[in-house]
Chain A
């Protein structure tokens, strides 16, 4: 998880997306011990479930979200905390922590932003029927990884 990318250069979606994908893959490998590969977002549509959100403020301003089915969040909790992690609260906490780590790893890869970009605390939305949208007017990019054959969508939305 070393800073290896100049902040000044990647300013467009095509530059940030590979960094987001790598940050996601590393967190899944370190926290859950599994290697995940990125898939095209259009192939895996998610409805409902859990959405974790972490805000970015400072040099980069926006939000990172991680969205998956409730069952997948439960599997992530078991992967992080052990097989006894069966409560909804543990699934919520685990997904929030994954989102926090992906956002932190992403910003650490942008050399020079680490001190000028800060994260807020994670929040998690759960439920059968909800919509959410961020009031950002800049770049938006998404990567989807398969964790135990179910999709997990990671999205970065930045203010212009």
Chain B
């Protein structure tokens, strides 16, 4: 998780995406002990029963979200906290912590932003029927990975 990317030169979608993908892969490997790779978004749309979000403020302003099904969120909680982690609170906390770590790892990779970009606290939304709207109007990048054969979508939406 070292700083290896210049913030100044990273300003376009095609530059942000590999950094986000690497940040996601590292967090899944460290926290969940599994290697994940990005898959085609069009073929793998997660059932968004759970959405964890965290705000970025300062040099980078926007939000990062992690979206997956309730079943997948449950698997993530069990991997992180053990097989007894079955409560809704534990599942939400686990997904929120993954979101927090991905955002932190992502910003740490952008040299120069670490001190000028700060994170708020994670918030986790769950339910059968909800919509999530961000008012960020700038670049948006998304990567989808498979965790135990189920899709997890990680999206970064930035304010222009």
Binding site for B on A (CB under 8 A): 53-58, 61-63, 89, 92-93, 96-97, 100, 118-136, 157, 159
Determine the residue in chain A with the shortest Cβ distance to B58. Answer: A118
Contact A125 B132 (CB under 8 A): yes
Q: Once bound together, how far apart are the Cα atoms of A126 and B129, in whole Å?
A: 9
Contacting B93 at CB < 8 Å: which of A61, A123, A135? A135
Contact A57 B55 (CB under 8 A): yes
Which residues of the partner chain A approach B54 to less than 8 Å between Cβ atoms? Answer: 55
> Which applies to chain B's interface (DSSP): helix, strand, loop or mixed?
strand
Which residues of the partner chain B approach A125 to less than 8 Å between Cβ atoms? Answer: 125, 130-133
Q: From known contacts A55-B57, A123-B63, infer whether A118 and B118 are also in contact, taking CB-CB under 8 Å.
A: yes
Contact A134 B57 (CB under 8 A): no
Which residues of the partner chain B approach A93 to less than 8 Å between Cβ atoms? Answer: 135
Contact B120 A62 (CB under 8 A): yes
Q: Once bound together, how far apart are the Cα atoms of A123 and B65, in whole Å?
A: 11
Contact A120 B126 (CB under 8 A): no
- At the interface, yes or no: B67 with Cβ under 8 Å from chain A? no
Which residues of the partner chain B approach A122 to less than 8 Å between Cβ atoms? Answer: 134-135
Determine how close the nearest CB of chain B comes to the CB of A40; give it in whole angstroms. 25
Which residues of the partner chain B approach A131 to less than 8 Å between Cβ atoms? Answer: 88, 125-127
Residue in A93, A96, A135 whose Cβ sees the most chain B Cβ within 10 Å: A135
Contact B124 A135 (CB under 8 A): yes
Known pairs A96-B135, A128-B129 / 11 extra A-B pairs, C-beta < 8 Å:
A53-B53, A118-B57, A121-B61, A122-B135, A127-B130, A127-B131, A128-B130, A131-B126, A132-B125, A135-B93, A135-B124
Determine the residue in chain B with the shortest Cβ distance to A60. Answer: B120
Determine the residue in chain B with the shortest Cβ distance to A131. Answer: B126
Which residues of the partner chain B approach A127 to less than 8 Å between Cβ atoms? Answer: 127, 129-131
Contact A120 B120 (CB under 8 A): yes
Contacting A123 at CB < 8 Å: which of B53, B100, B124? B53
Residue in B53, B62, B157 whose Cβ sees the most chain A Cβ within 10 Å: B53
- At the interface, yes or no: B97 with Cβ under 8 Å from chain A? yes
Contacting A120 at CB < 8 Å: which of B62, B97, B129, B131? B62
Determine how close the nearest CB of chain B comes to the CB of A131; give it in whole angstroms. 5
Contact B133 A124 (CB under 8 A): yes
Residue in A57, A97, A128 whose Cβ sees the most chain B Cβ within 10 Å: A57
- At the interface, yes or no: B159 with Cβ under 8 Å from chain A? yes
Q: From known contacts A55-B57, A58-B118, A121-B159, infer whether A92 and B123 are also in contact, taking CB-CB under 8 Å.
A: no
